Homo-oligomer: A and B are copies of this chain.
Amino acid sequence: MPTQDAAAAPTGEGEAEWENAVHEAGLRMTEPRRRVLQALEQLGHATPEVLVAHLSAQGSPLPASTVYRNLESLARAGLVRHSHMHEGVAAYHLPTHGQHLHLVCRECGRVIEAAPDLARDLARNLHRAHGFDADVTHMAIDGRCSACREERIS
């Protein structure tokens, strides 16, 4: 399974399914909630602040508190997930966004997505050595990307 990122998918795609899932979770489908899900689909993954900015940019802004509350309720319902990246800030994404490791370059800040298979060895090692059940589906890994390393061949 290639890492190919769902290049800015044509908006308005899984909207009907969302409504379903939202209702099944005992939640209501509202306009702000739909916009949050939509934005997440477009961005792939984003921090709360980025979402607020994104939503402000396209059309009417959504109050930060609404964005935060939606992320929380949707996360509790399993409709969105969160992982840690971007220098320690939690970022959210749709479960359908696919599982992958986040390679965070400490120099340029870029986030590269890698296949979770690459961490399978690690997970197995940790389980054997510590009985630790690692979640490597959205793990953030710090380091330097190839581009930045080349720039500094000094």
Interface residues, chain A, CB within 8 Å of chain B? 83-84, 87-90, 101, 103, 105-106, 112, 114-115, 118-119, 121-122, 125-126, 129-136, 139-146, 149
Contacts and interface: CB of A to CB of B under 8 A. Distances in A.
Contact of A84 (B101, B142, B143): B142
Contact of A139 (B129, B142, B144): B142
B141 A115 contact: no
Contacts of A122: 118-119, 121-122, 141
A69 B139 CA distance: 30
A125 B118 contact: yes
B130 A136 contact: no
Contacts of A105: 132
Contact of A89 (B88, B118, B126): B88
Given A88-B84, A129-B114, A142 B149 contact: no
Given A132-B143, A133-B143, A143-B135, A121 B125 contact: yes
Given A121-B121, A125-B118, A103 B88 contact: no
A125 B144 CA distance: 14
A130 B112 contact: yes
A125 B116 CA distance: 11
A141 B84 CA distance: 10
Contacts of A142: 83-84, 134-135, 139
